[in-house]
Amino acid sequence: MEQNTARRGGSAAWALVITSVAGFMAALDNLVVTTALPSIREDLGGALEDLEWTVSAYTLTFAVLLMFGAALGDRFGRRKLFIAGLAIFTGASAAAALAPGIDALIAARAVQGVGAAVMMPLTLTLLTAAVPAARRGAALGIFSAVTGLAVASGPLIGGSLTEHISWQWIFWLNVPIGLALLPLARMRLAESYAPNARIDVPGTLLVSGGLFGIVYALVNGQADGWTSTPILAGLIVGTLLLAAFVRHGLTSKNPMLPMRLFRQRAFFGINAASLLMFLGMFGSIFLLSQFLQGVAGYTPTQAGLRMLPWTGMPLIVAPIAGYLSDRIGGRPVVATGLALQAVGLALFAMVLEPGVSYAAQLPGLILGGIGMALYFAPAASVVMSSVKPAEQGIASGANNALREVGGALGVAVLGAVFAAQGGYESADAFTDGTVPALWIGAGAVALAALCALLIPGRRRVTQAEAPQGAETAETAETAETAEKPAPVAA
């Protein structure tokens, strides 16, 4: 049973401000580092695999600990754990800014991911608890817009700070904001608990070890040799641990991710599509942000600005996509968006060469941005409507975790393709590695579009067809039960 403890000074407005700013910081750090990568490489050194870990250390720890962090908050106090996560994130940001070498930076980024994994899922839970039901939709809409702005502006903010101050300031930016939020969260947020929350330590260890082994092998395979003992061990042990995680989800009484959920076509389809979409998108952004600076010759700020048609398009198109989703259902909107994203990456791969003009790049950027917006707008509703209301927290957490896993795998997979086909030796070598990687990214997103077609379409199901006491994915879009994102909880 849910338990809440009201605190003096707690209010919906303060909760919206505190959680939105915290969500902005966590979302910003997914992409803010991309346009700073060339400067980090020049300043701290490091090979391709080191740059990959600079991105993936954050996304990987964020992904594997996200549901566990939410469960800790439910059990021991959401406000208390939110503050702890915020403190870890802020301290790790300072450590990243002060990092004397690439290894220290990677370690700090991993700790940042730990803090974000505890902090980020609890933002929605705390906000939902603080806002009256009548105003909850508007509050969640503002929260989503703020985090969407962070994703859109990440490359531009990172590029501007890197060019006009230094790359360290992409991390220093978090410190004063975090220090300001800590006392505000302590004074203005209400404490709440869910004592029966699942805390699945074995499941967390299995998925963490499995994903680390596979990502480690993919990132370091080219440098160490694909048949070397560490790489083979990473692939084999990682695969075995992930298989054990799946078995654990099938047989355990209270797993962090019940595998039975994937028997629902809608749940399987949207989560497979999400993982593949982020695999293609994150891996491509990782390489294209470096191409725009190292090959095309743009400054970090110019590179960030030129990526806005892609990363910023969701802010313009998302309301239209939401309207279309309400009218015709989520499946055609999501599938169309992913198809456009795949076409956009393919167009980029077709025109990319050392002397390519920005005008030639623009169609791919715009199509990719429109596709991203069409995917994002209905995705949360599809996830929520694919499971019973009591399982929406688990479903939301799983979808967010799989997105981050896709991002980490995307950087690793496309980075491995890049390393096998090209390198940093010259503009031609960089292009030779980037083009086949983009084709792989386009293929992954195209496969995501096919997975989205597994989502059941909008049709009415009779009471006799539907399971008693639960809404199926087929009836969910008609009934429109998922009007708002549910809090992420494990």
Angle 400-402-404 from CA coordinates, rounded to 5°: 75
Max alpha carbon distance in the chain (Å)?
A: 66
User: Does residue 2 have a pLDDT over 80?
Assistant: no
Contact predicate 403/205, CB 8 Å: no
189-204 tens-digit pLDDT: 888 777 677 788 888 8
Q: What is the pLDDT of residues 292-340, one digit of tens each?
A: 888 888 888 888 888 888 877 777 777 777 777 777 777 888 899 999 9
Are the beta carbons of 279 and 409 closer than 8 angstroms? yes
Which of the four pLDDT bands, split at 50, 70 and 90, describes residue 484? very low
pLDDT > 70: what percent of the chain?
88
The pLDDT > 90 percentage for the chain reads 23
pLDDT score recorded for residue 481: 37
Quote the CA–CA distance of 38 and 288 in Å, as a whole number. Answer: 11
Q: From CA 173, how far away is CA 145, in angstroms rounded?
A: 20
> 211: closest CA among 286, 312, 291, 110?
110
Statement: residue 7 has pLDDT above 90:
no
Instruction: Give the contacts of 162 (CB within 8 A, at least 6 positions apart).
Output: 35, 36, 39, 169, 170, 300
Question: In this predicted structure, what is the pLDDT of residue 338?
Answer: 93
Angle of helix 330-351 versus helix 265-294 axis, rounded to 10: 30
pLDDT of residue 108: 94
Question: Is 405 a residue whose pLDDT tops 90?
Answer: no
Check residues 127 and 176 and name the one with the higher pLDDT.
176
At 132, is the secondary structure helix, strand, or coil? Answer: coil
CA angle (317, 286, 232) in 5-degree steps: 130
- The pLDDT value given to residue 90: 95
Q: Output the pTM of the full model.
A: 0.80
Please report the pLDDT score of residue 390 as a whole number: 65
In whole angstroms, give the CA distance from residue 441 to residue 341: 10
* Residue, of 104 and 457, whose pLDDT is higher: 104
For residue 490, CA distances in Å to 67, 368, 481 come to 5, 32, 21
* Exposure string for 323-345, b = 16+ CB within 10 A, e = fewer: ebbbeebbbbbbbbbbbbbbbbb
pLDDT value of position 114: 92
When pLDDT is averaged across residues 53-80 and rounded to a whole number, the result is: 85
What is the distance between the alpha carbons of residues 126 and 147, in angstroms, rounded to a whole number? Answer: 16
pLDDT(464) > 70: no
Lowest mean pLDDT among 71-80, 96-105, 442-451, 471-480: 471-480
CB-CB contact of 77 with 3 (8 Å): no
Mean predicted confidence (pLDDT) in 10-34: 82
Mean pLDDT calculated for residue range 198-216 = 85
Residue 472 has what pLDDT? Answer: 42
Dump pLDDT digits (tens) for 408-435: 888 888 988 998 888 888 888 999 999 9
Which pLDDT does position 88 carry in this prediction?
Answer: 95
Short-list 408, 156, 413, 482, CA closest to 306: 156
pLDDT for position 459: 56
How large is the average pLDDT for residues 402-410? Answer: 85
pLDDT, average across residues 210-223: 83
Q: pLDDT digit string (tens) for 372-386? A: 888 876 777 777 777
Given a cut of 50, whether residue 485 has pLDDT beyond it is no
User: Which of 43 and 479 is assigned the larger pLDDT?
Assistant: 43
